[in-house]
Copies of this chain bind each other. A is one copy, B any other.
Amino acid sequence: MNLSKKKCKPCEGGIASLDKKEIAEYKKHIQDDWKVTENNKISKEYSFVNYKHTMEFVNKVANLAEEEGHHPVIHVYYGKVVIELWTHAIKGLSENDFILASKIDKL
């Protein structure tokens, strides 16, 4: 399962969100520090030495999001960025979230 070679697919609902077992399987293929949160999202925190580096990362993530047509929530602090991923249309996690996570890992 090479997630970073896959592309996010349009998702307009009508499919089930991943269950716990599937999430656990997908999670093996992204970096360890992604957390599955209570409300069925995955999130990761990144630290930066200054705001310039913070915003460079934010823009890289935003460009990737547009390429993939899948947009995380990005919380931007002075030297910290928190990325949250889930699939709005199915109110849960889909393969798209793990594809995007694995590509963010490679930025």
Contacts and interface: CB of A to CB of B under 8 A. Distances in A.
Interface of A: 51-52, 55, 58-59, 62, 65-66, 71, 73-78
A74 B78 CA distance: 10
Contact of A74 (B52, B66, B76): B76
Contact of A58 (B65, B73, B76, B78): B76
A62 B52 CA distance: 9
A38 to B, nearest CB: 19
Nearest to A76: B74
21 contacts: A51-B62, A51-B65, A51-B66, A51-B71, A52-B66, A55-B59, A55-B62, A58-B58, A58-B62, A58-B76, A59-B59, A71-B77, A71-B78, A73-B75, A73-B76, A73-B77, A74-B75, A74-B76, A75-B75, A75-B76, A76-B76
Contacts of A59: 55, 59
A72 to B, nearest CB: 9
A66 to B, nearest CB: 6
